[in-house]
Amino acid sequence: IDLAIQSAREAFRLFTEAVAGRSTHRIVGSGSGVPDTLYARLRVGLGLRPSAPVVEDFVASPLLPGRPLRVLGIDPFAEGPFRPTLLGEGSGQEVVALLSRPRGVFISAATAEAAGLGAGDSLPVLVNGRVRSLAILGALEPADELSRRALHDLLIMDIAQAQELLGQVGRIGRVDLILP
């Protein structure tokens, strides 16, 4: 029982770190989020460098019926201190891919396998009553089972593309901060 409890706690911690990151504080808005100009004011105007904007919502895919997929829109240049292992520890190819491919996403390897998809394929998703196509850039493949479970059904996108996809242009869901 102790082993099962510890395993569940570790899985929850890894999921929280993968999605929420290592933030110490968070600015959230009610309902529709906060204006994305707030992020620029915090980071540039006030000099709060360890800050990261996030857009987050759920979508569905006809290829994965009954499984909500969490879209996590991030600024890949601000992510380092918050979710350092989210996109892997490559040479920055992931960042280039996120910024250069319209509606490009990284998807968990298990979710891609369940949908029968791989890099270069398209994932149809239902967003606000409309079917949209997302381009799979690659699979997130953590080294251990707990980390794999933490990223289950997660889609990582560039924040601007996530805003457009989710109908949240000009708004962000939250700003993660690391404050002393």
Give 47-85 pLDDT, tens digit per residue.
888 999 999 999 999 999 999 999 999 998 888 788 776
34: tokens are 């906060």
Question: What are φ and ψ of residue 163, in 5° steps?
Answer: -60, -45
Residue 114 confidence (pLDDT): 92
Q: How confident is the model at residue 87 (pLDDT cuts 50, 70, 90)?
A: low
**Secondary structure letter of residue 26 according to DSSP:** E
**How many other C-beta atoms can be found within 10 angstroms of the C-beta atom of residue 63?**
17
Cβ proximity of 90 and 174 under 8 Å? no
Average pLDDT over residues 109-114: 92
Position 152, amino acid: H
Name the residue among 29, 11, 21 with its Cα closest to residue 52.
21
Q: Higher-confidence residue: 14 or 74? A: 74
